[in-house]
Amino acid sequence: MNNPVLNVKAVCKDFGGVRALDEAELSVNDKEIVALIGPNGAGKTTFFNCITGIYTPTSGDVLIDPAAKGQAVRINGKKPNVVTELGMARTFQNIRLFPSMTALENVMIGTHCRTKASVWGAITRNKATREEEQAVIKRSYELLQLVGLDEFVNELAENIPYGKQRRLEIARALATDPFLLLLDEPAAGMNPQETKELEALICQIRDQFGISIMLIEHDMKMVMSMSDRIYVLDYGRMIATGTPQEIADNPAVIKAYLGEDDDA
Amino acid sequence: MSNLTQETSQQSFISFFLTAGCDSVAHAVKKSFIVAIWFVFLTFPIMVIQVNTIEKTVVWHWNKIGYVAIAVFFGSFLWRWLLARKELKKDESTEETRIEGLLTRIQSHPLLKLASLGVLALAAILYPQVFDLYQTNIMVSCLVYIVLGLGLNIVVGLAGLLDLGYVAFYAVGAYAYALSNMHWGIGFWFALPLGAVLGTLLGLLLGFPVLRLRGDYLAIVTLGFGEIIRLVLENWGDITMGPSGISNIARPGFFGMKMSIMDSTIYMYYIMIGLVIFTIFCVNRLQNSRIGRAWLALREDEIACQAMGIDKMKTKLLAFALGATWAGMAGVIFAAKTTFINPASFTFWESAMILSIVVIGGMGSIRGVIAGAVILILVPEYLRNFAEFRMLLFGAIMVLVMVFRPQGLISAKRKIYKYEASNTASAANE
């Protein structure tokens, strides 16, 4: 079996006296769609922040292996931009686009860590810079087409409809050329039709780019139909893992979501 | 019929004008009355009481109170109407103003663009020939502020780092030329790149520790650094000649020619025009480049920016250092222009002035910054006729701009948009 591209081992995160993550374990295999679910406040976004470098885990290991060949690199404590450069791109739960930049520019920002035009290149606009710029524009435009936003190319991000903004965030994350795409509640605030389209888009991205995807999501219908595996987080602890069917039947998960009957 | 609608629209306009922001005409009159009284009270000391220090008497100008009251009473109607109008047009305010629209139209038409650039160039070349020494001198200092504004625009407008100590780099450039000229006789043309390099180095040096901070905290720390530099210049007498400053700084030479003050001022003017063009060229290219986009992203959302793989520290440092580069060059020119510098030229007031140029002109907009510099530097000069009211009017202009155009005189939005439009077209054509 292939080595997992992301392997999280016993990660803990304390905020003062509160333990937000307690020995959380998780792995994502190559070209797999993994969902992370759990009740509100379970620590899902904290988990994302820990593996993308926004927080440093209190203890534990976050290992990545972009080529899935058994050469794992430990990334905890690395800065978010380094993590992105290594190939993990994320979106945010509360959309964090660059509001007064156009959609195209937002995506172009994603290519920043893969390009290298310097100040000198920018001022002289030499051949290498111009070619790089053209390539970036072309690729960004293609990514916008992929997520179905080509009509908004020159629209400011703040003027784009909410559902489309989420798609723009995905395009921007894809522009960083990741091996693992981390989506934090990509379907939040979307209607059923949009959710369905989003699901198709995510599967298409996985197939077309051959990358792994991990998502946090509350829409159970979407999670159950598209994930290969599901992890359930509750009070910072991974309480269950398995295929959608196994999770649906797991009594611990049902208990976490619906609560325990006091009389029992 | 049309006459009728015109009449009613006129009537509704008048009633809107009279009651803007109020429930009824009576309410509006009451409001204006209160405002008038308040202003009479506020301006009483400056308008009414005049102390004659020679005869040691107090002259009371009671008639002026009446003027103030009447002017404020009617002015407040106008003010409320303008505010209400702005409120009504809130949704449209994101669109271009008429001037901006005109600029865009000129820019998008190649022939018109060429023609207007030609007119501008001609005006710039002929300016010192047409106007006298005084006017040319004012224009040179205005051009210096344009360069400073464009430099600070990189830091504040593009990268969103509030820098209140920008004048420190300006001072370093000026002192670099003054001292090296005094001690080693280094000429202007060598000092110009030297000032730029020193500005950059100091920018990096100061930037490194302070850029962990952001927003208000960064502003305070940079403010402190600006003051530190000034105090060092003031107190390190052995090296900097202290508060008495350095005089007899050489004017820029032109192949060893001896020039009169008139000629050298004109020469200075052309050097400044050259530097302004060079600055516009560089800043324009920078802001539309990969680095410029990273600055914008940093300004918009720091966390998302980092999550997209942009090295926050490196990008901030770059903005800080590049901004300082222009300040260093402007400093060299300032020293060469005035031939005398002392620490009093580099107070916080200068930093505030340059920041105002950027904010009032329009953050991140090159044309905005130029417009801001022209207005903020030239207006106080030409207001000298109004002597004691000069600064009052100046302040009023600033308040008015901020109330009615908080995004600045010429906002930057469209510029980015246009740049992308032309590029996407080429991307789509491929």
Of the three residues B59, B88, B117, the one that is the final residue of a domain is: B88
Number of Cβ within 10 Å of residue B252's Cβ equals 18
The two structure tokens encoding residue A134: 């053209």
- Return the closest-CA partner of residue A119 out of B277, B160, B306, B318: B318
The neighbouring-strand residues paired with A27 are A7
Do B290 and A115 make contact, defined as CB atoms within 8 angstroms? yes
Task: Confirm whether B4 is domain-assigned.
Answer: no
Q: What is the mean pLDDT of residues B11-21?
A: 73
For residue range B378-410, list pLDDT tens digits in order.
Answer: 887 877 776 677 777 778 877 888 887 777 777
pLDDT score for B420: 45
Do B291 and A98 make contact, defined as CB atoms within 8 angstroms? no
Do B310 and A133 make contact, defined as CB atoms within 8 angstroms? no
Contact B115, B126 (CB under 8 A): no
pLDDT score for A263: 53
Domain holding B267, by residue range, is 131-424
User: What values do phi and psi take at A68, rounded to 5?
Assistant: 55, 40
In Å, how far is B285's CA from the nearest CA of chain A?
A: 6
For residue range B317-362, list pLDDT tens digits in order.
Answer: 999 899 999 999 999 999 888 888 888 888 888 888 898 888 888 8
- Return the closest-CA partner of residue B44 out of B28, B20, B60: B60
For residue range B80-104, list pLDDT tens digits in order.
Answer: 888 887 777 665 555 556 666 777 7
The total of structural domains in chain B comes to: 2
Mean pLDDT of chain A: 85
B170 and B250 share a domain? yes
Is residue B42 pLDDT above 60, yes or no? yes
Residues of A in contact with B307 (CB under 8 A): 52, 54, 80-81, 84, 89-90, 92, 96
Task: Report the C-alpha gap between A127 and B59 in whole angstroms.
Answer: 74
First to last CA, chain B: 56
B346 and B412 share a domain? yes
**Partner B contacted by A105 (CB < 8 A):** yes
Domain positions in chain A = 1-87+178-264, 98-176
Instruction: Mark which residues 28-47 of A lie under 8 Å from B by CB.
Output: none
Confidence of residue B423 (pLDDT cuts 50, 70, 90): very low
Could you please report the per-residue DSSP string of B68-102?
Answer: HHHHHHHHHHHHHHHHHHHHHTGGGGGS--HHHHH
pLDDT score for B415: 41
Residues of A in contact with B301 (CB under 8 A): 96-98
In Å, how far is B421's CA from the nearest CA of chain A?
A: 6
**Partner B contacted by A235 (CB < 8 A):** no
**Partner B contacted by A98 (CB < 8 A):** yes
Task: Confirm whether B101 is domain-assigned.
Answer: no
Task: Report the C-alpha gap between B154 and B161 in whole angstroms.
Answer: 9
Residues of B in contact with A97 (CB under 8 A): 301, 304
B376 and B304 share a domain? yes
Of the three residues B88, B122, B154, the one that is the final residue of a domain is: B88
CATH for the A1-87+178-264 domain, from 3.40.640.10, 3.40.309.10, 1.10.10.60, 3.40.50.300: 3.40.50.300
pLDDT score for B197: 92
Is residue B26 pLDDT above 50, yes or no? yes
In Å, how far is B396's CA from the nearest CA of chain A?
A: 29
Task: Confirm whether B104 is domain-assigned.
Answer: no
CATH assignment at residue B207: 1.10.3470
Confidence of residue B242 (pLDDT cuts 50, 70, 90): confident
